Structure 1
Amino acid sequence: MVNHPVPAAALSRRALLSAAASAAALAALPSRASAEVVANGLPLLAPLPPGAPDRTLFAPVEQRFASYLATLPAMVNDIEGTDPATYGFMRGGWWREPASWFNARVQEHVFTLSWFHANDRPWNPYRGDAALARRLDAALQHYLSLQHSDGAWPEYSRTEHSLAATGFGLGYLAKTLENLRRADALPQRRAAIEQALRRGMQWLLDPENGIWRTPIEWTNQVAAGLAGSTVALQLTPDANLQGRLLERIEYFAEHGQSPAGFFYDPLGCDINYNFEVMLPEIAEIYLRTGSRTILSMARRFTDWFSYNLLREPDGSGFLTYYAVSARTSVAYYDDVVPDPDRTNLGSMFVPAIPNLGAFFTSREDRAASRAAWAAEPGPAPKLAKHDGRFEVRILLS
């Protein structure tokens, strides 16, 4: 479902509601798309050919990649390649604020770059591209250089040890490693990523870390770290860390979810963060492990969620009881969400929790939406900087 922050103006009923609530050493790689044009000390990624991305080339389930592909050259070519102090910084303000060199979250699109470098598709001219690999390597160098000695990464200041930057970073770096292994690319950088992941997990999974005070605050960020650790340990097994991960998941289930069923964010509930961030993160753990503990968490959340949404009279979606939300104000969800849809990964629980399906786009509606998208004239559009759809998580959905 599409989420809607309280709108400034919309249908009269919703307007009334809103008024009331007021991603250094390289493997040998073939170059398929890039010309040897250099900017900022690094080769430029060649632009897409005219008419690309061609909508008709995308399988329906992969349409969400199209706008990312359209945006890729501009974002990649913004990577800093001359200043030694910030070499590899993903400049340009494409993702997260503050758009500063010390904010590790800015670098999360290394996963996006690695996906296009690793995956062969008829519409992807950047598979194995040498310029993309060079710039990705630079971005990874900067990303890893930001990690503190204890394993955490910063976000709002260089000295901060950020739960969000570390939790989400573990996931995106683990999946970047997965892509680099698939492409057999950047072997030395892969080894550095493995070491960074191990340090990051040691920080996140330490029971003495203040992030585990009870009740657990910022559960979506902790869940991201648990999901990232799940992926990382499947790629780089470590019996000690695996044991810690399983123990922390059980602890998380006990202390991160309220008796009512919502997840603490920070100490109360937040409909947006619970449904759009937290649920997809724990869905990834469930998909990769089949954890019954995680499934139980999702089932309890579904029961609570069902009491906090109200069906629209015209059947177009649900109103939310967003007055209870501690961080955001998502007033309603539509039945049909066109791609890209950041909530979609959460729907992986539906086979086990059928009632949860009411809150996701139906198979029929999604097929119709994708058919309509493919029939639109012209290439897929670029995404704007800070567009809510330009989110790394969407590539997973």
Structure 2
Amino acid sequence: MLNPAPVADFSPADFADGELDLPYYLSHFHRVANAVEMDGPDRGFINISVWRRPKDNKPHNARIMENILALAFFFCTDRPWNVFYAQPDLRQRLEAALDFWCGIQNGDGRFSEYGPGNWNLAATAFATKFMGQTLHLLDSGPDIDSALHERVIAADRKALYATFTIDELQTQGRNFTNQYANAWGGALAYLDLFPDAELERLLDQRLEESLTEFQSPAGYFYERSGPDWGYFLGTHHSDIHVAYHYARGTDRASIFLEKERRWYDWFSYNAVREPDGTGYALNSGVETRQQRAFLTEYRANLGGAERSNSGDIDTTALGEVLELPRAYGRTVEAHARDIADARARLEANWPAVAPLQVGEFWAFTPYAFLHRDHITWYPTLEQKEAATAMLPYIARDHFTHQRVDSRHPVVFTFVRRPTYYVAFNTGPVLSAQQRYGLGLLWHPRAGAVLQSQTDTDHAAWGTVVNGTLCEKADIAAVFRIDGDPVIPRPGRRDLPDGDLEITYPLGESGSKTILFASDAITVSVNYPGAFTEVLPLLKGELDTIKNGSVLTRGDVSLCIETENALTLSDTDLKSGDRQVVTAYINAENTLTYRIAFQ
């Protein structure tokens, strides 16, 4: 059994700037290592619920074994504070875990996650990313059993080969691209150590295919066939970070740069910057899987539960070449202040760290050890400001822009006028949690004032008929500019100048028309019977709402003009620091209201 690390014998000064979260992991590592089963049929299984959900902490789940990377990190990392470096007891547990991992692999290279023999893409492709880094640590670290080492190398190759050749995994990858993309970095990490012509050929073939099969011409990576902010800002960002670390300076770098260029171009229309610099409100109603309303700037964390609250984008490594990513990452100057703050917090509480919350998803994550020797890059404040000025709704004050997918006729329309910016979403619903229609409303001085929330009927813009929000179903919209029809086509383009009108049916007998003029948005609803219009407003702590129809923020007022009564209801939902407050307009047969800023 491993003894606890004597953390009190060290000081924060012993930890480099990039290691300020490690006292947490050092303090709790013995519990994770000691949880490796050393006897019985599950010998080598990491039997403690600190990574993933407790109900999934089962021996058949290869995702649990991703924490082999934690075992390898402490065994192989020679630092003054690392009392576990080359420790014989840790070597036994690391070898047991590696042996167990090899043993739960299917003969064709796949791993399982949610049940014995339920081989899937996620368990297989994620394994290659984390094992790629593990093999790099073992390559330069103390020796382990050489025969076992060779088995691990072979198992990793087999997993990569399976990912690149099994048709079922290709099909899954087209719909869950964050899972498949783990193999980009996994393969490049493997090839960095073990040149392999066949594997290299398969990697390049799948990479080239992925430019169209995994990424919509609208710009997003497919998640359940649609866009998702959470998976890109989390897993995808990590996948590309690993891959670019190895591809940087090679011909392959251009593929990852092109993927990111397309995605950030798409993102720049869907994430609106708050004028005070606190973050970006997202066009969240279109998300197919996770729920993310706001993007905050990353700050250094001290491990454990704090990690999940530390922001979204840690480093925009590809920003050394691409400009748009610089708008979202922290600057060199902010990073330095952030590190100083994290060190001060560590010193103030030394040697105390947060408790290990067994049963909490991120309590002891292998991601804490994945990117430690990968490239980091931060823009200067000047570079960040220049990139921010390039954001389309900041760079231009008048345009109508449209993006359309080729796999499904989903249409994303973005309207910029001098006093407002809108994201409007239509087409077939791809996930039950999506909410279409008016997704975002933004003012250049006030910021986001309206935002549809994912998977809600009480905080998403739209028309409620008989208790059902119409915009949670397919929207077959017709587009016109100054009366002339506009036919959406796959890809991205600016539409002709003029007032945009969007019309779509409500149920079998109603209709809704939204007119985007130069100074206001007019919504007209026709439905035989009673209905309710829902407007999810974003109210900050200092904002005021007058007469239920005017939201004032600073010197800007959002006015909802209607002859009908308007009522407000607080929700428990938030977007950044703002509370979602729902405005309701009850009507019968017809309703017209106008949205404008003063």
Q: TM-score scaled by structure 1? A: 0.84
Q: 1:215 to 1:276 in 2, by over 3 A?
A: closer
**RMSD, aligned CA:** 2.0
Instruction: Please tell me whether residue 351 in structure 1 is matched to residue 320 in structure 2.
Output: yes
Instruction: Please tell me whether residue 286 in structure 1 is matched to residue 260 in structure 2.
Output: no
Q: 1:146 to 1:316 in 2, by over 3 A?
A: same
Which AA in structure 1 matches 2:331?
A: S
Instruction: Please tell me whether residue 322 in structure 1 is matched to residue 284 in structure 2.
Output: yes
One of 34, 39, 46 as aligned partner of 1:77: 34
In structure 1, what is the Cα distance between the partners aligned to 2:167 and 2:110? Answer: 11
Deviation at 1:308, TM superposition (A): 1.1
Instruction: Please tell me whether residue 196 in structure 1 is matched to residue 155 in structure 2.
Output: yes
Between 51-60 and 365-374, report the one with greater CA deviation: 51-60
**Structure 1, residues 315-339: CA drift from partner, whole Å, max 9, x if none?**
2111111111111111212224223
Deviation at 1:170, TM superposition (A): 1.0
Q: 3-state DSSP class of the match of 1:230?
A: helix
Equivalent pair of 1:164/1:221 in contact (CA under 8 Å): yes
Partner of 1:363: 332
Partner of 1:90: 46
In structure 1, what is the Cα distance between the partners aligned to 2:8 and 2:221? Answer: 45
Q: 3-state DSSP class of the match of 2:63?
A: helix
In structure 2, what is the Cα distance between the partners aligned to 1:391 and 1:321? Answer: 29
Partner of 1:216: 174
Equivalent pair of 1:53/1:70 in contact (CA under 8 Å): no
One of 354, 357, 360 as aligned partner of 1:381: 354
In structure 2, what is the Cα distance between the partners aligned to 1:214 and 1:228? Answer: 18
Equivalent pair of 1:342/1:394 in contact (CA under 8 Å): no
Relative CO higher for 1 or 2, CA cutoff 8 Å, sep ≥ 6? 1
In structure 2, what is the Cα distance between the partners aligned to 1:184 and 1:191? Answer: 15
Deviation at 1:239, TM superposition (A): 0.7
Q: 1:336 to 1:343 in 2, by over 3 A?
A: closer
Partner of 1:46: 3
Structure 1, unmatched stretches of 5+, are: 1-43
Which AA in structure 1 matches 2:336?
A: A
After TM superposition, the runs of 4+ consecutive aligned structure 1 residues lying more than 6 A away are none
Which AA in structure 1 matches 2:112?
A: P
Partner of 2:366: 392
Percent identity of paired positions between Structure 1 and Structure 2: 28
**Structure 1, residues 139-180: CA drift from partner, whole Å, max 9, x if none?**
111111100000000000111111111101012112212111
Partner of 2:64: 106
Q: 3-state DSSP class of the match of 1:104?
A: coil
In structure 2, what is the Cα distance between the partners aligned to 1:223 and 1:365? Answer: 30
Which AA in structure 1 matches 2:327?
A: A
Which AA in structure 2 matches 1:326?
A: T
Deviation at 1:382, TM superposition (A): 4.5
Which AA in structure 2 matches 1:91?
A: N
Partner of 1:24: none
**Structure 1, residues 21-62: CA drift from partner, whole Å, max 9, x if none?**
xxxxxxxxxxxxxxxxxxxxxxx1111115266322211122
**Structure ranking higher in strand proportion:** 2
**Structure 1, residues 71-99: CA drift from partner, whole Å, max 9, x if none?**
2111111111122x111110011212301
Equivalent pair of 2:164/2:203 in contact (CA under 8 Å): yes
Deviation at 1:346, TM superposition (A): 5.2
Q: 3-state DSSP class of the match of 1:213?
A: helix
Q: 3-state DSSP class of the match of 1:330?
A: coil
In structure 1, what is the Cα distance between the partners aligned to 2:172 and 2:58? Answer: 32
Q: 3-state DSSP class of the match of 1:205?
A: helix
Which AA in structure 2 matches 1:325?
A: E
Deviation at 1:228, TM superposition (A): 0.6
Which AA in structure 2 matches 1:90?
A: I
Partner of 1:331: 293
Deviation at 1:226, TM superposition (A): 2.2
1:27-176 equivalences under 5 Å are 44-51=1-8, 54-83=11-40, 85-97=41-53, 98-176=56-134
In structure 1, what is the Cα distance between the partners aligned to 2:262 and 2:59? Answer: 40
Equivalent pair of 1:318/1:332 in contact (CA under 8 Å): yes
In structure 1, what is the Cα distance between the partners aligned to 2:209 and 2:60? Answer: 32
**Structure 1, residues 335-367: CA drift from partner, whole Å, max 9, x if none?**
242235685565111111122122122222222
Deviation at 1:313, TM superposition (A): 4.0
Equivalent pair of 1:65/1:395 in contact (CA under 8 Å): no
In structure 1, what is the Cα distance between the partners aligned to 2:340 and 2:261? Answer: 32
In structure 2, what is the Cα distance between the partners aligned to 1:389 and 1:264? Answer: 29
In structure 2, what is the Cα distance between the partners aligned to 1:60 and 1:216? Answer: 39
Q: 3-state DSSP class of the match of 1:310?
A: strand
Which AA in structure 2 matches 1:367?
A: A
Equivalent pair of 1:219/1:264 in contact (CA under 8 Å): yes
In structure 2, what is the Cα distance between the partners aligned to 1:349 and 1:389? Answer: 29
In structure 1, what is the Cα distance between the partners aligned to 2:66 and 2:331? Answer: 30
Equivalent pair of 1:342/1:389 in contact (CA under 8 Å): no
Equivalent pair of 2:37/2:43 in contact (CA under 8 Å): yes
Q: TM-score scaled by structure 2? A: 0.56
In structure 2, what is the Cα distance between the partners aligned to 1:244 and 1:165? Answer: 20
Equivalent pair of 2:128/2:187 in contact (CA under 8 Å): yes
Q: 3-state DSSP class of the match of 1:227?
A: helix
**Structure ranking higher in helix proportion:** 1
- The structure having more radius of gyration, on CA atoms, is 2
In structure 1, what is the Cα distance between the partners aligned to 2:2 and 2:340? Answer: 31
**Structure 1, residues 180-224: CA drift from partner, whole Å, max 9, x if none?**
121142122211111101211221111x52222398111011000
Partner of 2:387: none
Deviation at 1:285, TM superposition (A): 1.4
Equivalent pair of 1:345/1:396 in contact (CA under 8 Å): no
Q: 1:324 to 1:394 in 2, by over 3 A?
A: farther
